[in-house]
């Protein structure tokens, strides 16, 4: 633990000096806060990510100190939801009484191994708090507590504690790629959780992305991202056959902003012109999303916007409805319906925006065509 130890010690000294000056300032502001005859000191622990200590029992008063999860604290008394407390820095103030517990959270007493190259460790369980140092991959650390959602771990080193996000650590050493099985996401998106109980999610993996299958545990899988982060997911969301094997040149059929960085409505996307050349690597089982390479990066594109050749001016791709659907004037849910078409209806693809295609019906007996937008999920 040399790398961690040196960084930890150096930063710890700086933080001690900083905290000492802050404590002096806090003590000056809280000079009227003293232990009185009405106080009955009892042991307690912080049971929130960061406990804010105020000068008075109101959030409008000065903040004296911020105490991290699982740190011991002395509770002096409680009134109307506020607890009068004394911190290990001898600061006396007031905090939310519900954010304290009499039960010691520091009972894990387990050893875990770092999976990531030089992850940061923090003064408090927050990425906004000061960085105490770094771990190195396969460094063994002593874990003493986990936050209620399991997303942060409290680790102890030489009597001092700091915090690290849970996915950085595992109970087993990091294994090189040749020692483990590779897998790929088989669903549009796969939710990844902090623990095998699948209670709290910390991220999402997307169709075609490669992960390391660390362990199968019934219907669950323990997986590791390319960066080393450990998580748990449903085993059925993975495949051990690489779907990114098509390696086919294809072309966009219409202009639009439908080049997604991940296949979600919330993800960022960029515009692309009709006739752009892409490399098609994979198509999901519903033939909805295509995973493509464009200008050196991976993107996700609704499959109906692609084809094997470029279109000439005025030559549009024909698409078909999977089921009955509405064609609307715009892309909003409230947009006016201009036509309702049956399953299997042939349409002309003339434009696109995000997950909507701009289409035109074939001419009716009077030569009239209806134009509007339809959600891509209704097309094939």
Residue 266 pLDDT > 70, yes or no? no
* CATH number attached to the domain at 317-378: 2.30.30.40
Cα–chain center distance at 332: 28
User: 250 is written with which tokens?
Assistant: 């294809």
What phi, psi does 78 have (nearest 5°)? -140, 140
User: 163 is written with which tokens?
Assistant: 């915090």
Out of 218-232, 233-247, 265-279, 315-329, which region has the weakest mean confidence (pLDDT)?
265-279
Nearest to 83, CA basis, from 74, 91, 273: 74
pLDDT interval class at 25 (50, 70, 90):
very low
Across residues 152-171, what is the average pLDDT? 95
Question: What are the sequence ranges of the domains in the chain?
Answer: 177-239, 248-307, 317-378
pLDDT at 144: 97
Question: pLDDT tens digits, residue range 56-107?
Answer: 999 999 999 999 999 999 999 999 999 999 999 999 999 999 999 999 999 9
pLDDT interval class at 322 (50, 70, 90):
very high
**Helix and strand numbers, DSSP H then E, in the chain:** 1, 34
Q: Please report which residue ranges of 30-96 form alpha helices under DSSP H.
A: none
CA 5/CA 141 separation, integer angstroms:
11
3-state DSSP assignment of residue 191:
strand
Across residues 362-379, what is the average pLDDT? 92
Residue 32 pLDDT > 70, yes or no? no
Percentage of residues in the chain with pLDDT exceeding 70? Answer: 91
Scan for tokens 């009972």, then name that residue. Answer: 107
Question: pLDDT tens digits, residue range 113-125?
Answer: 999 999 999 999 9
Nearest to 207, CA basis, from 146, 289, 144: 289
pLDDT interval class at 180 (50, 70, 90):
confident
Please list, in sequence order, all residues whose beta carbon lies within 8 angstroms of the beta carbon of residue 92, skipping any fewer than 6 positions away: 30, 33, 34, 35, 76, 84, 85, 86
Residue 18 pLDDT > 90, yes or no? no
**Residue 237 per-residue DSSP state:** G
- Of residues 28 and 143, more confidence is placed in 143
- The side-by-side arrangement of strands in the sheet containing 256-260 is 269-272, 256-260, 297-302, 289-294, 277-283, 248-252, 306-307
CA 161/CA 189 separation, integer angstroms:
36
Neighbours of 361 (CB within 10 A): 18
Quick check: 181 and 197 in contact, CB under 8 A?
Answer: no
The second-level CATH assignment, the architecture, of 177-239 is Roll (2.30)
Task: Specify the fold of 248-307.
Answer: SH3 type barrels. (2.30.30)
Mean pLDDT of the chain: 90
177-239 and 248-307 agree in CATH topology: yes
């Amino acid at each position: 633990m040399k790398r961690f130890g040196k960084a930890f010690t150096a930063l710890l000294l700086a933080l001690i000096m900083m905290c000492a000056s802050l404590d002096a300032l806090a003590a000056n502001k809280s000079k009227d806060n003293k232990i009185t005859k009405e106080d009955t000191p009892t042991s307690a622990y912080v049971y929130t990510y960061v406990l804010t200590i105020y000068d008075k029992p109101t959030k409008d008063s000065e903040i004296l100190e911020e105490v991290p999860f699982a740190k011991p604290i002395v509770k002096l008394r409680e009134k109307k939801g506020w607890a009068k407390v004394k911190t290990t820095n001898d600061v006396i103030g007031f905090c939310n009484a519900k954010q304290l517990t009499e039960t010691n959270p520091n009972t894990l007493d387990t050893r875990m191994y770092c999976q990531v190259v030089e992850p940061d460790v923090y003064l408090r369980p927050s990425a906004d708090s000061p960085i105490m140092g770094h771990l190195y991959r396969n460094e063994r650390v002593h874990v003493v507590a986990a936050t209620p959602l399991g997303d942060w771990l409290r680790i102890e080193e030489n009597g001092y504690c700091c915090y690290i996000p849970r996915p950085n650590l595992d109970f087993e050493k990091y294994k090189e790629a040749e020692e483990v099985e590779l897998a790929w996401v088989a669903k549009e998106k796969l939710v990844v959780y902090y623990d095998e109980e699948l209670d709290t999610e910390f991220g999402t993996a997307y169709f075609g992305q490669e992960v390391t299958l660390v362990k199968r545990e019934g219907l669950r899988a323990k997986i590791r991202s390319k960066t080393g982060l450990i998580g748990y997911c449903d085993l059925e969301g993975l495949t051990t056959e690489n779907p990114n094997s098509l390696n086919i040149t294809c072309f966009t059929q219409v202009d639009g902003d439908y080049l997604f960085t991940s296949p979600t409505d919330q993800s960022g996307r960029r515009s692309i012109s009709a006739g752009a050349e892409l490399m098609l690597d994979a198509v999901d089982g519903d033939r909805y999303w295509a995973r493509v390479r464009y200008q050196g990066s991976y993107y996700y594109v609704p499959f109906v916007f692609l084809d094997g050749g470029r279109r000439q001016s005025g030559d549009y791709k024909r698409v078909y409805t999977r089921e009955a659907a509405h064609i609307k004037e715009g892309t909003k849910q409230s947009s006016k319906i201009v036509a309702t078409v049956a399953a299997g209806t042939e349409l002309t693809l003339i434009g696109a925006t995000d997950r909507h295609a701009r289409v035109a019906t074939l001419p009716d007996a009077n030569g009239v065509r209806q134009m509007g937008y339809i959600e891509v999920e209704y097309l094939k």
